[in-house]
Structure 1
């Protein structure tokens, strides 16, 4: 029989409908009771817990902005999908604490008549926190690290390998009760002494959550000189480094916020101060071997960034109602990023022991098609390449529109301008072509190709004609068609056929789409056609009697670590083929640039290398 862990009950508490009685009380009090004190306090509870959730979210946003915090990260690994799923219900503790507060106001009528502010209450709460809450938490926390208590009530909290803001709220119901007691005693004490106030509840609870989130943020925010100037402060306030050591080693640094109690209990880790000094110096950084230079698609998709909403970014992108509500805010942030005009570090992961990073150009999809934006975008891409070169990055791969032929010739602009680059610039289209070609059934004898004279279209056509597959190349430019045809071996040139209308494919059931096609144009495909595609954005699947492939993508190997963000609409652990192409280039240690026209002879080489490194077609 499977043993049910005590914390599994908490999964049922994540229904926000449990706040319904509080909301109902507020509405009832306002509409029918003239705004009685009970309804007012229920409203305060709801506002307070919304602000608490905001604190957790803002700390996550800050700690995940790697372009600001990467030099001060304590544990270098990223938060992966397993940890995100494990901490999915991190906010469970808000619900019981909200009802404890509601019951306290119901059973103690005196609490309903508290003034807005009482300065004495702040000092009383501070004294009670230091004299009661801190030692109570220290003793309880230390006890939780003993055998059975740890296994049943505290191991869940420590199951997260990388502390994050949401790890602070991740625990068992028993831990929630202890934390509620630790937080509530100073407030109850101040109220019973006649010094309670509405302001005290807001200040104390929000400050309590702020310090918990700070300790779990995995980013060292204190300069070491702060403690060297006043050594006593080391014992009055903990640091993120101090708390991270507890998560790593589990046998020291048990305090709530004040290391003083670890000092009194003899449980301070001896390397706490030296490690804090090392990390706060900002010099302990890792240079990635590989960088994928991405870009946003639009303002809505920009909210899929890892530093926005962790749960949202950990799932394939789709438009949800709350995203539309937040669109104005995302648009303003987008304007700020444009004004900054620099490349941002978005996320990272480890593969085969090498650090891989996502950098993003602060430009959105539609801008790439504005003639006056061309120079500005190329300057930002060039700046990112030069920055990577100075850092010692080995390979930089360009995402979809960052390698647009009309923009920079598939990356040739930068390679020609800077011939001494040590970083290898890669467009990844060789693997993209390989993925598309390996999707085509081996028994196919004829294909219809749109976007036939593009980089990918040319490579696909030349590869297929060598396999004796007839390629109907849709293009109005006879000159460009003939140039491609001449590249094919003489005995294969007959398999390349120029067509100028979609009607030419009325009997062809294999379409390879490299140029966006409308509903009307799709009607020329016969029933049962499969649309392979490499067009950005992807075509819309209008036909019910046909099938549509997705953009070329590959699954990363199973040993990938620290990956917690989905690449746009792709599934977890799946990346676009151009991204995977850069990964393979890095893992193979190839020293050439992969820019401009695709070398057809390398398509099979790159494909086999990808499979050898554990990448698989999506």
Structure 2
């Protein structure tokens, strides 16, 4: 049987736990409509509205700090612990806001009692209350938290109540809220007593509640952010200040070594208690000055597909980015913010670091160009996009990246010839530029049923379409290539050995495939075009964005993808619609290129003879079909 206060009573409710706040919303609505008095009340006169507003404001404080700390393009040099957060930690901390929910519910009990005056009897602000709160915080909250925290590190209490919190080695603002009900009550004690003291002394105010609670959460979030934000020069100019305010480095040492730095916000109590880690200030200075950036061995250069998918990046909502992308309703309110951020990125026009992970102890990073999918289809934007990709390639070459792989539209044939433009323009490149399409073709081809006699191929004259057609015809599989250009078809047909050319057939209408159940889609299909497929057809696809599955009597494959090896570390976000630990085949193709140490660029037309070579290499290194 679990110890008391070691688990949350609403743990089984999932997202429905927020309905526990429904009574507060109902009470606020009643007061708003004037059902409890002689007329409607103003929002400022309702404790119920204040409780709900505080719940959201406090949650947003942690979220904003999380977003900042996860913007690797801004913070990567000043991260205390450089490692990434993996899916295990994300899942463990999924319900990090339980403490806010508990404190809000307890607050509802308090405001419903006779001791707390109604908001309309309080001033908006009373400076005396702030002085009282600060005195009580320093004289009560800090020492009580310090002593309770040290007690939680006793063997029995630590195992029952505090071990889960310490399982997160890489702290994040959301880690601050992750804990047991006992820890949440301890936090509430440290915030509740100073506020209660101010109200009992007649100096409480509405503004004081907001200022103290939000300041408390702000400092908690900062300490757990894993990013140094206070200059070491401040502590050198004012040495006593280092005992009055902690830093992310200070807290990080506690999470890693556990036997020091127990304070809430003030290291003074660690000094008095003899638990101050001697490395605290040295680490703080070293971190703030910026660690020497380690050059990644591999870079995957991505782009945003659309406005909604731009909110799938790890620094927006961790709960969204850690699962395959979907258009969630919760994202709609953030749409204007995403548009504004998109415009800002266009103005800055710099490639930025999105995420990273370690494979075989080597650093792999994902960079993104500040361009959205629709821009790739605007002729006037072509030169600008290529310029951004070229700058990313040159930057990767300058810092010592071994392989840079181009994602989806960044290697579009009409845009830059599948990366050929950059290799031809800069023949001295040390970084290997890879489009990864060889492995993409291999994944698609290995999905084709072994008993298939014919296939229908759209996008047949593209890089991938050409390679797939030439590979399949060698297997004596009839390939119906949909294309209106006889010239391009004949050019591809002549590349096939003479004895296999008969297996390549040009078709110009979808009706030609009405008896073929294997469709390989490289060009977007409308519902009208899909209806020509017979029942039971499976749509393999390499088109971006993927086609929409309109047919219930058919099956639809996802974009070609592979699962990364099991020894991947620090991976905590999904790649677009891919499952956890799964990446697009072109991404995996770049990984294989790096792991094999191949020295050639993989750009332009695919070498059909290398498809099986790349496939076997991928399997050898532990990548598996998704």
Give yes or no for TM over 0.5: yes
d(CA) in 1 for partners of 2:281, 2:113: 46
Aligned match for 2:90, one of 84, 102, 111: 84
Task: Supply the distance in 1 between the matched residues of 2:546 and 2:213 (Cα, whole angstroms).
Answer: 48
Distance in 2 separating the partners of 1:138 and 1:12: 32
Asked whether the 8 Å contact 2:110–2:116 carries over to 1, the reply is no
Change (3 A) 1:509 1:480: same
- Tell me what 1:201 maps to: 209
**Residue 536 of structure 1: aligned partner:** 544
How far residue 154 of structure 1 moved from its aligned partner, in angstroms, is 0.6
Distance 1:515 1:495 in 2: 21
Distance 1:560 1:128, change over 3 A: same
**1:287–1:108 Cα change, 3 Å:** farther
SS of 2:74's partner is helix
Match of 1:67 among 73, 79, 96: 73
Moved more, 429-438 or 14-23: 14-23
Match of 1:572 in 2: 580
Tell me, what secondary structure is at the counterpart of 1:439?
coil
Give the C-alpha shift of residue 57 in structure 1.
Answer: 0.6
Paired position in structure 2 for 1:283: 291
Deviations 1:268-307 (A, max 9, x none): 1121111111111113322211111111111111111111
1:512 CA displacement:
1.1
**8 Å Cα contact 1:168/1:213 also seen in 2:** yes
What whole-Å deviation, never above 9, does each CA across 1:188-247 have from its counterpart, x for those lacking one? 111112221111111111000000000000111122222112111111110000001111
Matched, 1:219 2:227: yes
Partner of 1:99 in structure 2? 105
User: Structure 1 residues 251 and 520, CA, compared in 2 at 3 Å: closer, same or farther?
Assistant: same
CA contact (8 A) 1:427 1:595 kept: yes
Name the residue aligned to 1:403. Answer: 411
**CA distance in 2 between partners of 1:285 and 1:587 (Å):** 22
The residue that corresponds to 1:22 in the other structure is 24
Structure 2: distance between partners of 1:376 and 1:541:
34
Shift of 1:266: 0.8
Q: 1:526 to 1:168 in 2, by over 3 A?
A: same
Instruction: Show the counterpart of 1:443.
Output: 451
Shift of the alpha carbon at 1:87? Answer: 0.8
CA distance in 2 between partners of 1:23 and 1:540 (Å): 39
* 1:69-107 superposed Cα distances (whole Å, 9 cap, x missing partner): 011111111111111111111111112211322333333
Give the equivalent residue in structure 2 for 1:422: 430
Distance 2:476 2:508 in 1: 22
Q: Residue 307 of structure 1 aligns with which residue? A: 315
* TM-score for the superposition, normalised by structure 2: 0.96
Distance across 1 between alignment mates of 2:201 and 2:602: 73
Aligned partner of residue 614 in structure 1, secondary structure:
coil
Count of matched residue pairs: 618
Task: Pick closer, same or farther for the CA change 1:96–1:541 going to 2, 3 Å.
Answer: closer
| Aligned match of 2:161 | 153
Contact 2:517/2:534 (8 A) holds in 1: yes
Distance 1:470 1:149 in 2: 69
Match of 1:190 in 2: 198
> In terms of mean alpha carbon deviation, does 491-500 or 443-452 score higher?
491-500
Please report the TM-score for the alignment, with normalisation by the length of structure 1: 0.97
Moved more, 38-47 or 487-496: 38-47
Is the counterpart of residue 40 in structure 1 residue 53 in structure 2?
Answer: no
CA displacement 1:156-203 (0-9 Å, x = unmatched)? 111222111111000101111111101111111111122211111111
Secondary structure at 1:90's aligned position in 2? Answer: coil
Contact preservation (8 Å) 1:394, 1:422: yes
For residue 521 of structure 1, report the CA deviation from its aligned partner.
2.3
Q: Is the 8 Å Cα contact of residues 3 and 160 (structure 2) preserved in structure 1? A: no
Measure the CA separation in 1 of the matches of 2:4 and 2:562.
37
Q: How does 1:44-63 map to 2 (within 5 A)?
A: 44-63=50-69
Contact 2:125 2:208 in 1 (8 A): yes
Paired with 1:158 and 1:27, the residues of 2 have a C-alpha distance of 41
- CA 531–4 in structure 1, closer or farther in 2 if over 3 Å, else same: farther
In 2, Cα distance between equivalents of 1:51 and 1:357: 33
Distance, in Å, in 1 between the alignment partners of 2:533 and 2:288 is 62
Question: Deviation digits for residues 524-549 of structure 1, max 9, x if unmatched?
Answer: 22222221111112222222222221
Q: Determine the structure 1 residue equivalent to 2:395.
A: 387
Moved more, 109-118 or 256-265: 109-118
- 1:462-519 alpha-carbon deviations (Å, 9 max, x no partner): 1111112221222222222222122222222222222222232232221111112222
Superposed CA RMSD: 1.7
Distance 1:61 1:230 in 2: 30
Q: Secondary structure at the match of 1:7?
A: coil
**1:13 and 1:117, CA in 2 relative to 1: closer, same or farther beyond 3 A?**
farther
Q: Distance in 1 between matches of 2:615 and 2:2?
A: 44
Q: Is the 8 A contact 1:13 1:92 kept in 2?
A: no
> Over residues 419-444 of structure 1, what are the superposed CA-to-partner deviations in whole Å (9 max), with x where a residue is unaligned?
11111111000000000000001121
Identify which of 117, 122, 128 aligns with 1:114. Answer: 122
2: distance between equivalents of 1:35 and 1:114?
18
Cα distance in 1, alignment partners of residues 515 and 313 from structure 2: 43
CA contact 2:224–2:252 (8 Å) conserved in 1: yes
Contact (CA 8 Å) 2:464, 2:606: kept in 1 or not? yes
What is the Cα deviation at residue 122 of structure 1?
Answer: 0.9
Which string of whole-angstrom CA distances, capped at 9 and with x for unpartnered residues, describes residues 99-130 of structure 1? 32233333344533322111111111111111
> Displacement, 1:555?
0.9
Within 5 Å, give how 1:449-598 maps onto structure 2: 449-598=457-606
Q: Is the 8 A contact 2:176 2:221 kept in 1?
A: yes
CA 1:132 to 1:367, structure 2 compared with 1: closer, same or farther past 3 Å? same
Q: Decide whether aligned partners of structure 1 residues 110 and 564 sit closer, same or farther in structure 2, where only a CA change above 3 A counts.
A: closer
Unaligned runs of 5+ residues in structure 1 are none
